[in-house]
Structure 1
Amino acid sequence: MGNYPSALQQCIDTVGNGRSGFAAYPSNPFYQISWTKPYNLDVRVTPAAVVRPQTAEDISGIIQCATVNNVKVQAKSGGHSYANYGLGGDSGAVAIDLVNFQHFNMDKTTWQATIGAGFRLGEVTKRLHGAGGRAIAHGVCPDVGIGGHATIGGLGPMSRMWGSCLDHVIEVEVVTADGKIQRANDNKNSDLFWALKGAAASFGVITEFVVRTHSEPANVVQYSYSLNFGTQAEMASYYSAWQDLISNPGLDRRFGSLFIMMPLGAIITGTFYGTDDEYHASGIPAYLPKSDNQVVANDWLGSITHDGENEALYLSNLPNPFYSKSIGFKREDMISREGIKKLFSWVDKQDKGTLLWAIIFDAAGGAIGDVAMNGTAFAHRDKILFYQSYGIGFPLSDKTKKFLTGFHNQVLSVAPTGTFGTYAGYVDPALTDGQEQYWGPNLAQLQNTKLRWDPLDIFHNPQSVRPIAS
């Protein structure tokens, strides 16, 4: 009896109408390797089906199949969820892989671009560049999918200047829980559009984005400084100076920066969207360590490539077993100098369980905070800094998890009381209050919107928005 297809499989295969490469199931050979492709190998999940639709109508049919069979649904774009939420997060969901949604168009009158939800960020950058030297704010990892990135937030080095990636989205096509193919913007289905800009995995499957674009910056200055072969305690004074820089309310918005703790030292990076003269006139170099060959000038595409290479130094794009923690800081949450010394000295004394670890402090704020806290579902407009930690192991050890959990607890102990909340792009399945951490004061409105658009909770992962009790 086990060889007979389930009702769910029969329904999905009917939608596919015999097309090759349309869907696969756990019984298929190489299902995990060729179809599921989990990003975090420490989070084991087996979807009931992985489907690669070609049209919004296909997606509508798949959602209806899942609903009839009481199965949850999640969309997968790049598949870089830290907890494999694009695969459902728990076993037994239908994963809708958007890889075939690769259409692109630029309206050269409005300079608005239509971008398919299956694109990766590296390709988005190239397409926008080729369509008139245009750009949007986004992260620098080239293989991250825009489908999740532009709906959960989308933070990157240009976000202080232009806002988050989702702040560029002016309209979407989305398939909702009832199987309808909808357009959503500020005027049509505006409550849904609000929710999609920060929590889309809980509300539908977006097939395309319409985004406003900018002219590419003509000049980019990039700074990189490595502090090698030292203890973390020796890095504390450098971090204090860097924190003073990025927490300055008058910091030039054209500047984005990272401070990265790593084995044997740290790295400070900076990206300034302007000329070298403007960079020095900003006063920023005075806060950064001096070194020969520390600044490189790039064009726009070169700067994106350079930032992507820096990111690859501490978080591989390849699937790995890894563990991660994070939190966001408001301006009043900055850690004191004594607290920084205590925190960095604590790191030196720990057994990390791996040599593959990094702790990244990432400057935010600027234009991100120009939008009201409830202007979109994204609820971290008041944050000027995020930290994220990563530990990779083959296998991942309990020592590594204990180290990163301990670091997180140390951060909370030295930060001002009340420091709370983290970006859903750094999803943490260990959080028992994930919804409150991710969406904060916007959660109640999201729960009400969920009740209207997805009362049966079809679009579900372990930490997605739930419909408020009617």
Structure 2
Amino acid sequence: MGNQASNLTPLEKCITAVADGRDGFAGFPGRTILYQDQWVHRYNLDYEVEPVAVIRPQSAKDISGIIMCATQHNVKVQAKSGGHSYGNYGLGGEDGAIAIDLVNFQDFSMDGKTWRATIGAGTRLGDVTKKLHDHGNRAIAHGVCPDVGIGGHCTIGGLGPMSRMWGSCLDHVVEVEVVTSVGSIERASETLNPDLFWALKGAASSFGIITQFVVQTRPAPGNAIQYSYSFNFGSQAQMAPLFSAWQDLVTRPSLDRRFASEFIMTPLGAVITGTFYGSEEEFNSTGIPTSIPGGDELGFRIHDWLASLVHSAETEALYLSKIPAPFVSKSLAFRREDLLGALEVKGLFDWVDRQDKGTLLWFAIFSVQGGALADVGVNETAFAHRDKVLIFESYGVGLPVMRATREFIHNLHKNMKDAAPSGAVLGTYPGYVDPTLEEGQREYWGANLPRLERLKREWDPFDVFHNPQSVRVGPVEDGGV
């Protein structure tokens, strides 16, 4: 591994013993060439973090050995799948953790009788889509950014344009292989370690390292209709009525579940996008096309399933690049009763016009949710945002991020919360972690947090799986241990 054994720390010696002579197994700061660039590879360059080691294991047994090393030397552990955490939590989120990079976990198989697929936890979503397509033209719901890893995506929710139709990515998970805080390799499902399975479906980074998913697939849809309207107005205020009209449409309880849409605020105006999974005739029969606010430029395409995901990925890349950059981001999740009224929308958009953004690279995305997501109860999995119908996420990018940009994004978030109706129950989607939240755990997991804290005491009492906003070990209950 290129290190002199006599110079290694006790932790490094333990890790080297697990490697058993294999090259490319571990990288260490100060010892491994290009450690930050080639091993750490931060996604959000605004958050500096240096793991005490980055491990690239090849089996669950390897991970078990590394966890034993971590517990012996009182070091925290986090898993990295695609590495797209906004706070670099897959690297620990703060200095001194062991990051377990799952890049080598790429196995895939399909059971042609049950149509259940087994997928390695290091597989990127783009590869998941292709492998499912190539093995029986199957599919699951997931996001559209192809470089996001399934290991994180499928355990915090995993939202995308198919979610209103099929639910979240984690709703397709029926079983996992997971390495626990004591290094045991377990299976978890509705019948095997069901409490652990419940926690993993929404808060896995606090409970273990999943190495393998078993997912129930579906037949891929046939056609997918995609459109986008671009609005090039001189001010955000002029877009307020359009946003209100769009919000009224996409949050209707009767909205066809095959339809998904986004409203994207940009420095130049706005974009409204939509996807409908079905034929053009079916789309027209829903009445949605006549209710969509029209824009200056219309893009309209009819794709098959695979091509629709490629197009969505290309569109998303305009706003969420896979290239690491310094950025600040915040998000909110709204129930139907928490949505902003027309006057509040107008006031918010007027406010945006008056602000110094500190950058030309800023945008805000409103994504419609609901539908099949709400078919699962809020407390049936650790993922708590079942009752939300709209998710808002804002971004400011800079080289570096300027103070004005931070203030703009922070105040946009604050003003949106203030504009919500009295008694609004908002939250933050755990896929968009925000290290600045004062009560991140409560924002991410809501009413499910107390149960998660109890299960943390059972499955990870010494908080081995830790990041700055992971679930903490709950207090000892009366009469408990």
Following the alignment from structure 2 to structure 1, what is the Cα–Cα distance between the partners of residues 458 and 298?
Answer: 57
Q: Is the aligned partner of 1:19 residue 2:22? A: yes
Measured in 2, the distance between the counterparts of 1:391 and 1:192 equals 37
For 1:206, the equivalent position in structure 2 comes to 210
Write the letter of the residue equivalent to 1:54.
Q
What is the CA deviation profile of residues 132-179 of structure 1, one whole-angstrom value per residue up to 9, with x for unaligned ones?
100000000000000000000000000000000000000000000000
Q: 1:333 aligns with which of 319, 335, 338?
A: 338
- Per the TM alignment, residue 289 of structure 1 is displaced from its structure 2 partner at its CA by 2.9
The alignment partner of 1:284 has SS state of: coil
Name the SS of the counterpart of 2:379 in structure 1.
Answer: coil
Q: Which amino acid in the other structure matches residue 57 of structure 2?
A: P
Structure 1 pair 2/404, CA: closer, same or farther in 2 (3 Å)?
A: farther
Match of 2:187?
A: 183
Residue identity matched to 1:462? P
AA paired with 2:20?
N
Judge which range, 100-109 or 2-11, deviates more: 2-11
Cα distance per residue 1:248-301 (max 9 Å; x no partner): 000000011100000010000000001001111111112213467532100111
* 8 A Cα contact 1:412 1:419, kept in partner: no
Q: Which amino acid aligns with 1:199?
A: A
Q: Does residue 93 of structure 1 match 2:97?
A: yes
Find the counterpart in structure 1 of residue 229 from structure 2. Answer: 225
Structure 1 partner of 2:12: 9
**1:463 matched to 2:469:** yes
CA distance in 2, matches of 1:6, 1:390: 40
- Please name the residue that 2:379 is paired with: 374
The aligned residue for residue 457 of structure 2 is 451
1:185 and 1:100 map into 2 onto residues whose CA distance is: 24
Alpha-carbon distance in 1 for matches of 2:5, 2:268? 54
Give the CA deviation at 1:310.
1.1
Q: Which residue number in structure 2 is paired with residue 321 of structure 1?
A: 326
What do residues 309-346 of structure 1 show as CA deviations (whole Å, max 9, x unaligned)? 11111121100000001110000011100011001111
Match of 1:310 among 310, 315, 323: 315
* Aligned amino acid, residue 170 of structure 2: L
Which of residues 342, 347, 355 is equivalent to 1:350? 355
| Cα separation, 1, equivalents of 2:106 and 2:322 | 21
CA distance in 2 between partners of 1:450 and 1:2 (Å): 36
Unpaired runs of at least 5, structure 2: 477-481
SS at 1:309 equivalent: helix
- 1:230 is displaced (CA, Å) by 2.7
Out of 389, 396, 410, the residue aligned to residue 405 of structure 1 is 410
Q: 1:232 to 1:2 in 2, by over 3 A?
A: farther
TM alignment of 1:24-423, pairs within 5 A: 24-27=27-30, 28-290=32-294, 293-417=298-422, 418-423=424-429
Q: Distance in 2 between matches of 1:384 and 1:205?
A: 30
Deviation string 1:388-407 (CA, Å, 9 cap, x unpaired) is 00010001101100001110
Partners of 1:315 and 1:390 within 8 A in 2 = no
Counterpart-to-counterpart distance in 2, 1:315 and 1:344 = 22
Conserved 8 A contact 1:133-1:216: yes
Q: Does the CA-based 8 Å contact 2:54-2:100 persist in structure 1? A: yes
How many residues were matched structurally?
Answer: 470
The AA in structure 2 aligned to 1:349 is R
Q: Aligned-pair distance for 1:3?
A: 8.1
The answer to whether the 8 A contact 1:324-1:404 is kept is yes
Q: 1:362 to 1:293 in 2, by over 3 A?
A: closer
Instruction: Assess if the C-alpha contact under 8 Å between 2:181 and 2:207 holds in 1.
Output: yes
Look up the equivalent residue of 2:243 and give its one-letter code: Y
Equivalent-residue separation in structure 2 for 1:420 and 1:272 (angstroms): 28
Percent identical pairs in the alignment equals: 61
Q: Distance in 2 between matches of 1:123 and 1:469?
A: 42
Distance in 1, matches of 2:298 and 2:472, equals 52
**SS at 1:328 equivalent:** strand
Matches of 1:150 and 1:382 in 2, distance apart?
Answer: 19
Report deviation, 1:376: 0.2
Q: Distance in 2 between matches of 1:59 and 1:200?
A: 15
TM-score (norm 1): 0.99
Tell me the amino acid that sits aligned with residue 454 of structure 2: N
1:426-445 correspondence to structure 2 within 5 Å? 426-445=432-451
**Distance (whole Å) between structure 2 residues aligned to residue 433 and residue 208 of structure 1:** 31
Counterpart of 2:23 in structure 1: which amino acid? S
Which residue of structure 1 aligns with residue 479 of structure 2? none
What is the Cα-based RMSD across aligned positions, in Å? 1.2
For 2:235 and 2:5, locate their aligned partners in 1 and report how far apart those are by CA, in whole Å: 58
Unaligned runs of 5+ in 1: none
The 2-side partners of 1:368 and 1:230 are apart by 37
